[in-house]
Structure 1
Amino acid sequence: MKILLVQPPIRDFYRTVFREYPIGLMYLASSLRKSGFQAEILDARRCRKPKAVTPYDELMSIAELAQSGRGPFCGFKHFGLSYEEISRRVLEYSPDIVCVSSMFTPYLREVIATAAAAKKAVPSCHVMAGGHHATADPLSLLESGAIDSVFSGEGEVALPELLRGGRPEKGIINDAGAPFRAVSLDVIPFPLRDILPTGSYLFEGEPYVMILTSRGCPHDCSFCSVHSLSGKRYRRRSVGSVIEEIDRCVSMGVRTIDFQDDNFLFERDRAFSILKHIADRHSKTGLRVMASNGLNVSGLTSEMIDIMRRAGFRKLDLAIATGDVGFRNSLHRPESIGRYEQVLQAANDAGLSVTTYVIIGIPAQPIAEMRYTIEYLRGMKTLISPSVFYNVPGMPIFNQMKKYEYVSDHVARRSSTFNCFGEDFEREDIISLIDEIREYNLSHLRS
């Protein structure tokens, strides 16, 4: 059986390298090949030149803001291969099964268009979607008519088992993947990175990889949707398995490793052992290490920060959500602001730069609280990275937030549309805050 795993193109006002690395498809390709299937990856998002396209109707209001110069973005673009080129490549491979990644809610239409392009090329193929959004809202994909089935949950163990039985049935398969979360992560083979050239994914011009050392997060942040796919139970790989993968990546010429765990520091001793290996074995190679998904300050001690610096961390990405204690408690965030200040000082003393991530634009969040948090951070030695709230399936507060959306459609549920309003703020207020933060960051970098 021939299986083609496809990362679809996206259409948006911007893109980021951290959403382009197809680690999920690499894991699936490795598991499928280990089980005897022919599996290839088509990364239809990896294209050097984006193409300007007309925004979707639901995005015209924010597009008009961008055109007027009042928004932070300058144009709506198609990032990746054209759908005609996708059809050509699918026909060339002639697969029995096409698995399309559906990770992010706002790119639902691109997933559907990619599925349609595959069907157009090879009408007899079975088109399946999977990933974070597919698990959280499978019906939104099935209702399109372009997708035969939706695989819900983690697929590395369950998908090969399913396909051994032949062509899948239509509909939702493996509801939430719950039976397979009990499997040790060490039985899952390493992502098949050599299926694509090492230089395919770069960070600041150097070969880049993501590594997952664990899955799941036991915290209950009300604005987070990660539990819908990975669950709340913290599951870890053995230190030996992680070290072996790191060594393989470095031997392939990788120069940037990005730990993308939901909670990399949840078990501090384990994280320390991994970082100590990197510091002892690879510190002289110029390896850069990062955790761009954000670090919880509760796991950071002076000793941890020192080993991170020695391992190759050049900056820390700290997630605090808000500087207001009362509002943080309402979001069920685990860290304390006092702890954050200690960690920030220790990072500054160690010579590491810091970016602090805060969330703005939750409908229940007063504009005064957002301004308080920004002013609080202005007095610190840190860059500020605002995460604009957008409402997606899988969040505990998803349904109650719908009434605060300008457009209640998946295509508008993205940070670049500022799609939610609150009791005392509108879209323009959030854009103004973004502009203020940008000016502060530029001033901070100059100083």
Structure 2
Amino acid sequence: MLRSRKIRFIEPHGRPGRPFNAWIQRWPLLGPITLASILHRRGYDVAVYNENLSGSVLDNPKAYEDICSADVVGISIMTPTANSGYTLGDRLKTDAPETTVVFGGVHASFMPDEALGHGDIVVCGEGETVIESIASGEARRGIIRARPLEDLDDLPTLDHSLMYDFEKLLALCRRRELYELPVMASRGCPHGCTYCSVTRMFGRNVRRQSVEKVHRDLCRYAERGFRHLFFYDDNFVSDRQWTKNLMERLRPMRMRFNAQARADLHWTDNSRRRRDEGLLNA
């Protein structure tokens, strides 16, 4: 029987002493978890290392040996984590020359030539439409400008347990139901603020999962013992009717959630009632 191709994703650690580290330790990037969930469903040997949670893989011989034996290593970087990601990419090209090193994430999308100097492939934009060609070995070199995923309902329910030490993260909250599980139901924002990178990354045409799809996923998370969510959506209330319909589905589930919205959000009676019921923090 043919061996399943081995894919490892890494979220590098931030620079020491930065306040941002406390945030990224508690709430991981969803890009690596999403891509890992897709490939896991397709039969790949896949896992995610989060250095903000587990420590540097370069200081963990067992983890580093596992990574060096992978067919493909995907490194997702933001600007605060780019240097550590580049250091890791450079080491892998020396210690594991047969491994394809792929950079993705916001920083790599905006600085692809810089990132390509430390790896084999750079994915600009959303990786879901190209991850299969990379994981299978079909794509091996260069800058790939990925086509955005049109129908977000095609995404699988996220499997956060594919991230090493996820149970350790939950233990920090004492009880599983107290952890704000990161999820995402839409991409993009209609406003295009000058200081924000969201529209350059995801566009101003907001794409949303159907309320039915989000509800199915939330039911699965509830079955896993989670009762508190953190929607990473860039603007959770840009479509008020969609938000209202989703909150109606959430109300009987008694699941609390945090979400992001513009500061000038006008609290309607419905939104205020949900907040008073303890369902919504924004």
AA matched with 2:249: H
Cα displacement string for residues 120-159 of structure 1 (whole angstroms, at most 9, x for unaligned residues): 442210101001111111112123xx31111111112221
Task: Look up the SS of the partner of 1:45 in the other structure.
Answer: helix
Tell me the TM-score normalised to structure 2 length.
Answer: 0.86
Partner of 2:148: 180
Number of matched pairs: 269
Q: CA RMSD in A?
A: 2.3
Task: Report matched runs for 1:217-232 at 5 Å.
Answer: 217-232=189-204
Distance 2:51 2:138 in 1: 24
Partner of 1:138: 112
Q: Measure how far apart 1:204 and its partner are.
A: 5.3
Structure 1 308/241 Cα, relative in aligned 2: closer, same or farther at 3 Å?
farther
Distance 2:131 2:185 in 1: 21
Give 5+ residue unaligned stretches, structure 2. Answer: none
Partner of 2:72: 97
Q: Measure how far apart 1:180 and its partner are.
A: 3.1
Choose which of 168, 171, 195 in structure 1 pairs with 2:162. 195
Q: Measure how far apart 1:22 and its partner are.
A: 3.0
Choose which of 1, 6, 30 in structure 2 pairs with 1:2. 6
Partner of 2:242: 270
Partner of 1:171: 142
Partner of 1:17: 23
Distance 1:199 1:24 in 2: 19
State percent identity of aligned pairs: 25
Would you say the 8 A contact 2:72–2:102 is kept in 1?
A: yes
Structure 1 256/17 Cα, relative in aligned 2: closer, same or farther at 3 Å?
farther
AA matched with 2:225: G
Distance 1:109 1:222 in 2: 25
Structure 1 223/131 Cα, relative in aligned 2: closer, same or farther at 3 Å?
same
The answer to whether the aligner puts 1:31 opposite 2:38 as a matched pair is: yes
Choose which of 92, 100, 112 in structure 1 pairs with 2:86. 112
Q: Measure how far apart 1:265 and its partner are.
A: 0.4
Larger Rg: 1
Q: Measure how far apart 1:312 and its partner are.
A: 2.3
Task: Report matched runs for 1:7-406 at 5 Å.
Answer: 7-12=11-16, 13-14=18-19, 15-18=21-24, 20-47=27-54, 80-81=55-56, 83-85=58-60, 88-93=62-67, 94-102=69-77, 104-143=78-117, 146-164=118-136, 166-173=137-144, 175=145, 177=146, 179-181=147-149, 183-196=150-163, 199-202=167-170, 205=174, 206-282=178-254, 287-291=255-259, 293-298=260-265, 300-313=267-280, 315-316=281-282
Would you say the 8 A contact 1:96–1:125 is kept in 2?
A: yes
Distance 2:22 2:268 in 1: 30
User: Which aligned segments of 4 or more residues in structure 1 are displaced greater than 6 angstroms?
Assistant: none
Give 5+ residue unaligned stretches, structure 1. Answer: 48-79, 317-447
Would you say the 8 A contact 1:207–1:253 is kept in 2?
A: no
Distance 1:168 1:161 in 2: 6
AA matched with 2:56: L
Q: Measure how far apart 1:192 and its partner are.
A: 1.8
Would you say the 8 A contact 1:91–1:121 is kept in 2?
A: no
Structure 1 221/141 Cα, relative in aligned 2: closer, same or farther at 3 Å?
same
Distance 2:24 2:80 in 1: 16
